[in-house]
Structure 1
C-alpha cells in the first residue's frame, strides 16, 4: 500500500534500523492504546458530522478493536516504519474498507503529541501515587521517633539536638510540596492538543471540547500552534521530578552518613545490605548509593529535555517530539525505581537510639540554650553571653569534660572575665546540657520539640490525605474516559 505520491522508494536499511524501527517499537509498546483511543474519539466526530453512518462507524470501530502490539510491525515497504501509517494499513486491510472520509482533515502531528501527552499524564500520576506511598511510610516512621534525641548537624558539625521524627517530618513536608507542584503541573498541562492539525488548525467543524472530554482532558488546547509545537509540558513534568530527586538525594546523604561506622545511628535489614568480597567484617548499604545515583539520572534527564528543545524552531519537529521527548519516559521509569527503593529503605530503617543519645551527651549541644539563659536569667548582654558560653565550652573541651559532666566553677570564672556573674551556675549548666531538656527547650511552632514535631506530622498527614483525594479525582476522570472509549462508538452517539 502506497502512503505518498511525493517520494519514490522506501526508508533505507540504516534509517529503518537506527531510527524508525526503534521508534516504532517504543510507540507500539507505550502509545498504541492511546492512538486507538484517539481514533475512536475522532470516529465519534466523523459520525456527528455526518461523514459516516452508524453501520460504517461500527465496522471501523470493530477493526480498531483488533489492534494490538502483535498486529503492528514496522515495515518499510507497507508503512514506511511509521506507526500512524501502520494503523491505517491495519484498518484498511480489514474485511470492510473504511468509509471514504476516514482521516480526512487529519494530521499525524496533533495525534502524535496527543498520544504522547496522554501517556505522560498516566506516568506522571503513577509517580504521584508512588510519592504518596512514600509519604505515608515516612510519616509512619517519623511518629515513632519524635521523642528520640539525636544530634542535628550544620556545616558537617554537631549543632543542636533534634529527633529522627523531626528530620523525617521535613522529608514528609518536601514530599507533599512535590505532590502539590505536580498537581499544579498536571492541571496546567491538562489541555488536549487534538484538533490542532499540522500547526494552523483544521478545516472541518471539529468539536474540540468534546474530543478533549472523550480523552479525559479538562479542556482543549486553545492555540493550535501551541498544541503541536509546545513541549513545555515535558520540561514542566521533568522539572518537578528533578526537583524532588535533588531533595531526596540530600536526605539519602544523611542516611548514608548516619548509617556509616563513623556514626552508627541507623541500621538496615540484611535483605537491603551488601558485603565486601575482601573484608569479611564489612556490612555495606549500597542501596543508598543506588538511590542517590539514580537521583542524578532523574536530574540529568530533565536537563536533556531542555537541551533537546533549545534553539529549535517553534513548530512540530521530531527533534523535539521524539528525540528529546523520549527522555521523559526514561526519567519517569528511573524515578519510580528510586522511589520503590526509598520506600523499602524507609520501612526497613532501625534507629539506634543508644548511639544517638550518647552522641548528644558527649557534645556540648546546649551552647545556644546556655547563651539564652545567661541573657534571660543573668542579664548578660546577648553577644557577651555568646562569648561567655563559647569560652566555657572551649575550656571544658580542653579539660576533657563532656556535656554531662559540667563544671559550675568554670562557668563562673568565664563570666567573671567579662565582668558578669553567672548564677546559679550549676542549674544553668544542668538545664542547658541535659539531653532531654535540650530537646524540649525549643518551643516555637515548627521546632524539634516533640509536641511541635507531632503537630507538624499531623498536619502533613492531613495534607497528604487531601492530596490523595485530589489525585484520585484526576485519575478517576481519566479512567472514566478510558471506559467510555472502550465502548462501541455507536453506543454513545452524540446528541
Structure 2
C-alpha cells in the first residue's frame, strides 16, 4: 500500500494497483521541461507580488533550475510512486530544498498547471508540424520547378482524363500541405493563451498577476475564464484534427507514389535509401516508407476520434478523464512530423521517368475534351460536340489510331466543320499549353503557381522563425 499524496482526508493509503492504473508518467514525463519553466514563472510572480517570502522564492527557483539540469541531461529520477510528472517535480523540489518547496503550489492547482504545461508542449509541437509540412511543400515545389513541360495523364476515377504537367500534379499536393501548415499555425494562435492562475476552477484569493506569468511563458495573453481554462481541451482536439487532415493528405500522396512505382505505371523509381527488398524475391523494390506513412493514417485518425469521444460528455470543470488527452495528441503529432519529414526525403530523391509519362499520355484519347472544345469554337453546342467526339473516340479505339494522328479526312467523317486548324488544338502538348487559365496546367500557369507557393512558404517560414524566437527568448529570460 502506498501513502496517498495528500492523505489528510484518507484513512488508508493508495493500493498499488490504483497507483499503477492512475500513473501517467510514461506520457506526461515528456512535459517535464515545460513543467519546470511554468513553475519558475509562477514562483517569480509569487515573489513579485509578495505572496511568498523572497528568500523562499529564490530557493525554490534555484532548486527548480537544478531539477531542469537533471531533466535535460537525463539523470532526473521519475519516482513511479508519484502519479504524474508535476507531482514528481514538486516532491523532488521539497526533498532537495526542504519545506520551502511546498510554497511553490501557492495560488495554483494541478488543474491549471497541467493545462498550461500541455499548451506549452503542443505550442512547440504545432510549430514543428507547420515546419515539417512546409518542408514537404518545398520538396514538391522543387520538382514542379523542374517539370513545367513534363506531360503526364491527369486522372479522374483512376481513368485517363486530360493531359497535365508533372508540375501541376506536384503543386496540387503542395497546396494541400500549404493549407495543413496554415492550420497548425492557426491552431497555435488559438492556443496561445495562458491558463496559469485559474487555479482549480474558480481563480484564487491571492493577489496574483496572470499577465506577468503569461508574458514570462511567451503566451499572447491569459485565458479569459477560469472554469473554461481548466476544462478546455479544444486546443488539443483541434491539433488532433490538423494531424488527421495532414496525414490524410500524406496518405494520398503515398498512394500515388506506390502506384507510380509499380511496373504497370513505371512513372517513378524511389531512391534505394527509402525502399526495401523482399526476403525471398530478389527482383523487388518495395516502397515501404510510403506504405508505412499510409498505414499510420489510421492511428492518427484514431487519435482525433479518441479526443472527440473523451470530451463529448464532460461536465464542467476538470474531470480525470482529461488525463487521457495527452497520449493520443502527442502520438498524432509525432507521426505527422516524422511522416512529413520522411516524405520530403522520399519525394526529393525520386527519379521521374518523363518519357514513360509522355508515352502513356499519348497512347489514349486523352485529348478528346480538346477536340470537343474545338467544335464549340465552330458554333456547335457542347453537348452535341460531346456526342460527335464520342463517335471519334470509338473509331480511335477500334482502329488503334490516336485522335491527333487521324487525317483531316478521317476527322471530317464526324463533322464537316473540322478544318486544318484542328491540329492547333489536339496535339497533347498543345492541350497542355492552351490551359492557361488561372490555376491551370499550362507552363505559364504553373510558373505563377510556383511563385505563389514560394511566397506562401517564405511568409510561413518567417512566422515560424519569429514564434520560435519569442519562445526561446522567454526561456532564456527565465533561466537567467
Shorter chain as normaliser: what TM range?
Answer: over 0.9
1:443–1:452 CA contact under 8 A, matched in 2:
yes
Match of 2:376 in 1: 375
Task: Give me the whole-angstrom Cα distance separating, in 1, the residues matched to 2:359 and 2:328.
Answer: 47
Match of 1:12 among 11, 15, 19: 15
Rate the CA distance shift 1:75–1:423 in 2: closer, same or farther, 3 A. Answer: closer
Greater shift, 254-263 or 224-233, is seen at: 254-263
Task: Give me the whole-angstrom Cα distance separating, in 1, the residues matched to 2:25 and 2:101.
Answer: 26
2:296–2:335 CA contact under 8 A, matched in 1:
yes
Task: Give me the whole-angstrom Cα distance separating, in 1, the residues matched to 2:274 and 2:253.
Answer: 17
1:214–1:485 CA contact under 8 A, matched in 2:
yes
Rate the CA distance shift 1:467–1:102 in 2: closer, same or farther, 3 A. Answer: closer
TM-score, normalization: structure 2?
0.93
Structure 1 spans left out of the alignment, 5+ residues: 416-420, 488-495
Q: Secondary structure at the match of 1:256?
A: helix
* 1:74 and 2:79 correspond: yes
Report the alpha carbon displacement of residue 204 of structure 1 after superposing the two structures with TM: 0.9
Q: Deviations over 1:381-403 (max 9, x none)?
A: 32221111111111121112134
Q: Secondary structure at the match of 1:150?
A: strand
Matches within 5 A, 1:110-125: 110-125=112-127
Matches within 5 A, 1:240-279: 240-279=242-281
Match of 2:213 in 1: 211
* 1:447 and 2:440 correspond: yes
Match of 1:55 in 2: 55
Rate the CA distance shift 1:285–1:25 in 2: closer, same or farther, 3 A. Answer: closer
2:248–2:297 CA contact under 8 A, matched in 1:
yes
Rate the CA distance shift 1:132–1:54 in 2: closer, same or farther, 3 A. Answer: same
Rate the CA distance shift 1:405–1:314 in 2: closer, same or farther, 3 A. Answer: same
2:31–2:85 CA contact under 8 A, matched in 1:
no
Report the alpha carbon displacement of residue 85 of structure 1 after superposing the two structures with TM: 3.3
Greater shift, 100-109 or 329-338, is seen at: 100-109
Q: Secondary structure at the match of 1:484?
A: helix
Rate the CA distance shift 1:27–1:383 in 2: closer, same or farther, 3 A. Answer: closer
Report the alpha carbon displacement of residue 75 of structure 1 after superposing the two structures with TM: 4.9
2:108–2:204 CA contact under 8 A, matched in 1:
yes
* 1:431 and 2:424 correspond: yes
Matches within 5 A, 1:219-230: 219-230=221-232
Match of 1:385 in 2: 385
Match of 1:342 in 2: 343
Report the alpha carbon displacement of residue 462 of structure 1 after superposing the two structures with TM: 0.5
Task: Give me the whole-angstrom Cα distance separating, in 2, the residues matched to 1:276 and 1:319.
Answer: 45
Match of 2:417 in 1: 422
Match of 1:37 in 2: 37
Match of 1:331 in 2: 332
Matches within 5 A, 1:297-376: 297-320=299-322, 322-376=323-377
Report the alpha carbon displacement of residue 99 of structure 1 after superposing the two structures with TM: 7.3
1:305–1:325 CA contact under 8 A, matched in 2:
no
Rate the CA distance shift 1:198–1:406 in 2: closer, same or farther, 3 A. Answer: same
Q: Secondary structure at the match of 2:154?
A: strand
Greater shift, 298-307 or 272-281, is seen at: 272-281
Match of 2:152 in 1: 150
2:94–2:100 CA contact under 8 A, matched in 1:
yes
* 1:26 and 2:21 correspond: no
Report the alpha carbon displacement of residue 452 of structure 1 after superposing the two structures with TM: 0.5
Q: Deviations over 1:186-209 (max 9, x none)?
A: 111111010111111111121111
Task: Give me the whole-angstrom Cα distance separating, in 2, the residues matched to 1:24 and 1:281.
Answer: 47
Cα-Cα RMSD:
1.9
Task: Give me the whole-angstrom Cα distance separating, in 2, the residues matched to 1:148 and 1:333.
Answer: 35
Q: Deviations over 1:33-89 (max 9, x none)?
A: 11111111111122112233433322221111221344443253xxx4343333332
Q: Secondary structure at the match of 2:79?
A: coil
Report the alpha carbon displacement of residue 474 of structure 1 after superposing the two structures with TM: 1.4
Report the alpha carbon displacement of residue 449 of structure 1 after superposing the two structures with TM: 0.1
Rate the CA distance shift 1:278–1:402 in 2: closer, same or farther, 3 A. Answer: farther
Q: Secondary structure at the match of 1:84?
A: helix
TM-score, normalization: structure 1?
0.91
1:178–1:244 CA contact under 8 A, matched in 2:
yes
Task: Give me the whole-angstrom Cα distance separating, in 1, the residues matched to 2:158 and 2:102.
Answer: 72
Greater shift, 163-172 or 307-316, is seen at: 307-316
Structure 2 spans left out of the alignment, 5+ residues: none
Q: Deviations over 1:444-495 (max 9, x none)?
A: 11100011001101101011101111122211111111111112xxxxxxxx
Q: Secondary structure at the match of 1:182?
A: helix
Q: Deviations over 1:302-353 (max 9, x none)?
A: 1111112122223212212x21332100111111221122111111111101
Task: Give me the whole-angstrom Cα distance separating, in 2, the residues matched to 1:258 and 1:162.
Answer: 16
* Equivalenced residues, count: 472
